[in-house]
Structure 1
Amino acid sequence: MGKIVSFATQKGGSGKSTLTLLLSTCLAVDYKLKIAVLDCDYQQSIVKTRIHMDAANLEQLRETDPEANYPYDIFPMAMTKIFDFIDNPENDKYDLVILDLPGRADGNEIFDALTACDVVFVPLVSDYLDRASTADFMGILHSIKSVADKEGIAFAYYGLSTKRTNRREDREMDEYIDEIGLSRLNSSLGLRAAYSRPSTLFSLLNPAYLRYAGGDKTVSEEIKTLCEEIIEKLELPVHQLTTAKNESAE
């Protein structure tokens, strides 16, 4: 089995499902990683994105390329089935398994799912309620890491700053994260319209889809930098960045 990660927090609206979509697609399309996403969120946002937004685009692609297919696998899954998936030898083919979990941390199922991860990335949104929620969630992750360290099991967690706008709130968040001692990624994502149009088929490093999503060079640079830092942190297989085909997404 490859690395198992989650973009997780206990507060809804932090962008964890959006992060999962954006990064899964770029890592699969542009970095050629074999990825499985386990959509364990009750809202099934990732499954719905594929069905309601990307299915028609895939059919359009197949008119000119019958072999066209989705770049990675998505599985709707109950949290109680996560370990069955991980323990199945047939799933050893994946470089990276990403768990999309509900935006809460008030039950044993969530706790158990987090223990399945090698790394948890915590989205950091710079407002007071998110800061307080992050502190609570940190306590859960710290307890998991304490047990993992005693058992000699690899487990780590990192903050990932999102929706940044260079406001005072961002500076206060930075100070707060330093104060509580949360390790975080150097990369971050701004508050950009293009991130509200994630796809399970088209990467934001694809110039045609980037234009469709209303993005610019800054968006592609942020995504590329974040993908490469995650690859380095997780020690994932390194593939040469490919140049996306100019496929339409209309």
Structure 2
Amino acid sequence: MLMEKEPVYLAFSTQKGGAGKTTLTVLVASYLHYVKGYDVAVVDCDYPQHSIAGMRQRDLKLAMEDNHYKALAYEQFTRLGKKAYPVVESSTERAIDDAERITGQAAFDLVFFDLPGTVNNPSVIRALSNMDYIIAPISADRVVLESTLRYMTVVNDVIRKTGVSNIKGTYLVWNMVDGREKSELYEVYEQVIAELGLHVLKTFIPDSKRFRRELSAGHRPLFRSTLFPADRSLLRGSNIEALTDEVLTLLNLRDNG
């Protein structure tokens, strides 16, 4: 672990709802914590839905009531020797204070923030300015793309260039990529993105129904969970492993796996 270093604050953030920021936060956080051996925490300040905090409640309920998941949790705890990562229900006003409180109580390598999709609120701007890295999911949809590019331009040109932010890097990541779409479309979009001075990660995330698969009474292989990593059979072809490795490289964190 990187006990001697300050934790990295990271947010998958965009102002467009349904872009996948919450799902990516959970998938990457769980993979890093349960597979790669990092100590992570999640601060959920996406009021009022608090999707990740809600997911943790559902996960815990099933894990306590269902013998299958109870056994999985016990096996995982025994193997890893570490508990589930904390999910803190917060607000944009309290986000940084809550993060400092939990990182003052235990050592963490990364703290993920699930932020609301707006930049017209002083508390959101304060939270964004305290991130070390911001990664915005984008899709090949003109409305989504234009909205996200405006959002990231504000982050870069207004928040980051004030000189009082902690932001070290901002990136875009292609999400919900339809394999049937021609790559030329993405090349055109990436030319526009490059002209704006923004950077796109090499890894893209395909569009797949597996991203919505949570713990279930039927014990189907799970993908999205705050208590367990994605099932190996579903992880293949999802590019979550590649995305996580690329993020670790960007953050200059060594591989604990």
Alignment partner of 1:218: what SS?
Answer: coil
Post-superposition CA distance 1:198-231 (Å, at most 9, x none): 1111212x33xx4xxxx36312xx1111111111
CA drift of 1:122 comes to 0.6
Q: In the TM superposition, what are the counterparts of 1:72-111 in structure 2 within 5 Å?
A: 72-88=85-101, 90-91=104-105, 93-111=107-125
Instruction: Show the counterpart of 1:115.
Output: 129
Instruction: Show the counterpart of 1:55.
Output: 61
Tell me if structure 2 keeps the 8 A contact 1:54–1:200.
Answer: no
Is residue 229 of structure 1 aligned with residue 246 of structure 2? yes
Instruction: Show the counterpart of 2:27.
Output: 22
TM-score by length of 1: 0.82
Give the 4+ runs in structure 1 shifted more than 6 A: none
CA drift of 1:168 comes to 4.3
CA distance change for structure 1 residues 66 and 21 in 2, over 3 Å: closer, same or farther?
closer
CA distance change for structure 1 residues 216 and 75 in 2, over 3 Å: closer, same or farther?
closer
Instruction: Show the counterpart of 2:168.
Output: 155
Instruction: Show the counterpart of 2:179.
Output: 166
Q: In the TM superposition, what are the counterparts of 1:204-223 in structure 2 within 5 Å?
A: 204=230, 206-207=231-232, 210=233, 215=234, 217-219=236-238, 222-223=239-240
The worse-fitting range, judged by mean Cα deviation, of 57-66 and 92-101 is: 57-66
- Taking the aligned partners of 1:97 and 1:230, their CA distance within structure 2 comes to 13
Tell me if structure 2 keeps the 8 A contact 1:11–1:103.
Answer: yes
Instruction: Show the counterpart of 1:201.
Output: 227
The gaps in structure 1 that reach 5 residues or longer are 241-250
The worse-fitting range, judged by mean Cα deviation, of 55-64 and 68-77 is: 55-64
* Percent identical residues: 25
> Partner letter of residue 50 of structure 1?
R
Alignment partner of 1:189: what SS?
Answer: coil
CA distance change for structure 1 residues 190 and 50 in 2, over 3 Å: closer, same or farther?
same
Structure with greater proportional strand content: 1
Post-superposition CA distance 1:125-181 (Å, at most 9, x none): 110111110221122111222224xx6955210001100013447643442233232
Is residue 39 of structure 1 aligned with residue 53 of structure 2? no
Alignment partner of 1:97: what SS?
Answer: strand
CA drift of 1:48 comes to 0.8
CA drift of 1:75 comes to 0.2
Instruction: Show the counterpart of 1:135.
Output: 149
Alignment partner of 2:87: what SS?
Answer: strand
Post-superposition CA distance 1:73-128 (Å, at most 9, x none): 10000111122134446156110001101122221222111101000001011101
CA distance change for structure 1 residues 51 and 217 in 2, over 3 Å: closer, same or farther?
same
* Selected match of 1:144 from 159, 184, 188: 159
Alignment partner of 1:164: what SS?
Answer: coil
- Taking the aligned partners of 1:84 and 1:5, their CA distance within structure 2 comes to 15
Instruction: Indicate the RMSD between aligned Cα atoms, in angstroms.
Output: 2.4
- Taking the aligned partners of 1:224 and 1:86, their CA distance within structure 2 comes to 26
Alignment partner of 1:33: what SS?
Answer: coil
Alignment partner of 2:211: what SS?
Answer: helix
- Taking the aligned partners of 2:151 and 2:229, their CA distance within structure 1 comes to 30
- Taking the aligned partners of 1:136 and 1:105, their CA distance within structure 2 comes to 10
- Taking the aligned partners of 1:21 and 1:196, their CA distance within structure 2 comes to 11
> Partner letter of residue 218 of structure 1?
G
CA distance change for structure 1 residues 107 and 177 in 2, over 3 Å: closer, same or farther?
farther
- Taking the aligned partners of 2:90 and 2:117, their CA distance within structure 1 comes to 15
- Taking the aligned partners of 2:109 and 2:123, their CA distance within structure 1 comes to 24
> Partner letter of residue 4 of structure 1?
Y
Alignment partner of 2:93: what SS?
Answer: helix
> Partner letter of residue 132 of structure 2?
D
